[in-house]
């Protein structure tokens, strides 16, 4: 089969069919996600926590990302493969281009994701000019956890919400191909989604995004303390395959996220 492309994601957005996305870190996980019909597989820097046992994503290196991206890439037939640019691997334009090129050439990534506000406009623009597809991750940005002062909902204050809308617009204009919103009030996600012309994938951002993403370990009930916006899909199912199919089905039917997984303004 053929791998999905950005055009396919744009098509899903236009047809109002939610994009189902999950993280994976090895080839077997990737194969199971692909077989379950997951559209976008992300090799998240969450691997620092769920695979390597760190407290945050900050210690993750580019080499860690490449090692796992390459493994995931071997397990995929259909899903689009996105990989995170880890902490401090895109602090300058040159560094960002080098990191993105390595994730694509050595890892097999089709899209790179970076955490950023309007500060990252120059980086996104440079990557875009080099033909590198980019996802911009807004809202709760775990690589900035020490600056943000904790894992909290972002964009609740009116001024913060307004800034996030401006940032989203600036990043899209700079050439971002996908926006990812983490832990933002559902109403703000709706506003950003209606302003954007590119797919908006949410995690803790309510049901009215173009797609949903969760961390695999949360979906399979393996995390010690899962975030409120996630759901254990293995509960009530007899296999990992059934749990993953249930996740995809729930996202496609807009049954997940339910109101209890979302945040109010
Ligand atoms: O690293 C990760 O798993 C992520 C998702 C939570 C979006 O960035
Ligand atoms: Na990440």
Cα-to-centroid distance, 191 and ligand 2 (Å):
23
Going by alpha carbons, the residue nearest to atom 5 of ligand 1 is 44
- pTM (predicted TM-score): 0.98
Catalytic residue status for 14: no
Which protein residues touch ligand 1 with a CB less than 6 Å away? 23, 42, 44-46, 84, 180, 203, 213, 215
C-beta separation of 86 from 60 below 8 A: yes
Q: How far apart are alpha carbons 10 and 19 in whole angstroms? A: 10
User: What is the atom index within ligand 1 of the atom nearest the CA of 113?
Assistant: 8
Q: What is the mean pLDDT of each run of 10 residues along the chain (265 residues)?
A: 94 98 98 98 98 97 98 98 98 98 98 96 98 98 94 96 98 98 98 98 98 98 94 97 98 98 94
Going by alpha carbons, the residue nearest to atom 4 of ligand 1 is 44
- Per-residue model confidence (pLDDT) at position 14: 98
Q: Could you tell me which residues come within 8 angstroms of residue 112 by beta carbon, excluding any fewer than 6 positions away?
A: 82, 83, 84, 85, 99, 100, 103, 104, 127, 132, 133, 134, 135
Long-range contacts of 45-50 (CB under 8 A, 24+ apart): 45/84, 45/86, 45/87, 45/142, 45/143, 46/142, 46/215, 47/23, 48/86, 50/25, 50/215, 50/216, 50/217, 50/222, 50/223
- Per-residue model confidence (pLDDT) at position 109: 98
Active-site option among 106, 162, 182, 255: 182
- Per-residue model confidence (pLDDT) at position 31: 98
Closest ligand relative to 182 C-alpha: 1
Nearest C-alpha neighbor of 81 from the set 71, 93, 73: 73
Pinpoint the alpha helices (H) of 85-149.
Answer: 93-105, 121-129, 145-148
Domains and CATH numbers, the chain: 6-261 (3.20.20.60)
């Amino acid at each position: 089969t053929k791998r999905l492309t950005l055009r396919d994601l744009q098509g899903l957005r236009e047809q109002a069919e939610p994009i189902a996305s999950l993280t994976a870190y090895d080839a077997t996980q990737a194969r199971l996600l692909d077989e379950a019909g997951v559209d976008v597989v992300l090799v998240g820097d969450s691997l620092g926590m769920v695979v390597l046992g760190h407290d945050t994503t900050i210690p993750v290196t580019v080499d860690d990302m490449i090692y796992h991206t390459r493994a995931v890439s071997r397990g995929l037939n259909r899903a689009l493969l996105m990989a995170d640019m880890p902490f401090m691997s895109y602090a300058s334009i040159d560094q960002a281009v080098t990191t993105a090129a390595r994730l694509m050439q050595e890892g097999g990534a089709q899209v790179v994701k970076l955490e950023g506000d309007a500060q990252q406009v120059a980086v996104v623009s440079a990557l875009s000019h080099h033909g590198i597809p980019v996802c911009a991750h807004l809202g709760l940005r775990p690589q900035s956890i020490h600056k943000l002062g904790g894992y909290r909902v972002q964009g609740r204050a009116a001024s913060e919400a307004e800034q996030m809308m401006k940032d989203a617009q600036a990043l899209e204009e700079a050439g971002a191909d996908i926006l990812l919103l983490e832990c933002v009030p559902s109403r703000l996600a709706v506003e950003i989604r209606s302003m954007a012309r590119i797919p908006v994938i949410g995690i803790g951002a309510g049901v009215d995004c173009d797609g949903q993403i969760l961390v695999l370990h949360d979906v399979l009930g393996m995390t010690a303390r899962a975030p409120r916006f996630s759901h254990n899909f293995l509960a009530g199912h007899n296999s990992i395959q059934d749990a993953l199919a249930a996740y995809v089905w729930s996202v496609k039917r807009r049954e997940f996220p339910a109101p209890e997984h979302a945040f109010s303004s």
